[in-house]
Amino acid sequence: MIKGILKALDTLLGPLCALVFVALLLDVLWGVFTRYFLGDQARWTEECARFLMVWLAFLGAALAYTRQAHLGVDILVARMDPQARRIALLVEHAVVFLFAVLVLGYGGGELFRERFASGQTMPALGILKAWQYFCLPVSGALIGLIAIGHFAETLLAKPQDGEVLP
């Protein structure tokens, strides 16, 4: 069940990140083309690139965490005995969950609400700037859900014949 949810999130986030990346690539290429071949860069391309880059970074962070490919210094944890390693991993996933929920979810949600209420728009795109900040609570919810999944996987894992836990 837990592995299925994590796999579903991976299946959703992988293509979504690829799609955002392709949109970013096309936007930047169009900006370069209009600047150097048409003589005047399309106004919206720089703003759109920034918007897509922010979304790609936060969705990519959720994808990396799903795949447990995030940055980390695991040299100490790798040398621990399996029970100590399990405890360290449980603490890690609990801290990630708290950060995701409190900072990204709550803090990002408040930032989104404030920017939405202010009505501030992105001048070239003509959309509310709040939508750029919406990636914070979205990624917070995703990372929080993934952290719960990894926590449960670690808690329920049973080492076999000296195997080191995930």
Q: Is there a domain that residue 121 lies in?
A: yes
pLDDT band at 3 (very low <50, low <70, confident <90, very high): confident
Q: Which two tokens stand for residue 63?
A: 């994808």
> Is it the case that residue 14 has pLDDT exceeding 60?
yes
Instruction: State the residue for tokens 């690539």.
Output: 25
Per-residue model confidence as pLDDT tens digits over 37-89: 999 989 999 999 999 999 999 999 999 999 988 877 778 888 888 889 999 99
pLDDT for the residue numbered 161: 44
Domain count, the chain: 1
Q: Which two tokens stand for residue 125?
A: 């795109």
Q: Is there a domain that residue 6 lies in?
A: yes
Which domain range does residue 20 map to? 2-156
pTM flag (> 0.85): yes
Percent of the chain having pLDDT more than 90? 77
Question: Hey, how many other C-beta atoms are within 10 angstroms of the C-beta on 67?
Answer: 14
List, in order, residues 6 or more apart from 93 with CB less than 8 Å away. 147, 148, 150, 151, 154
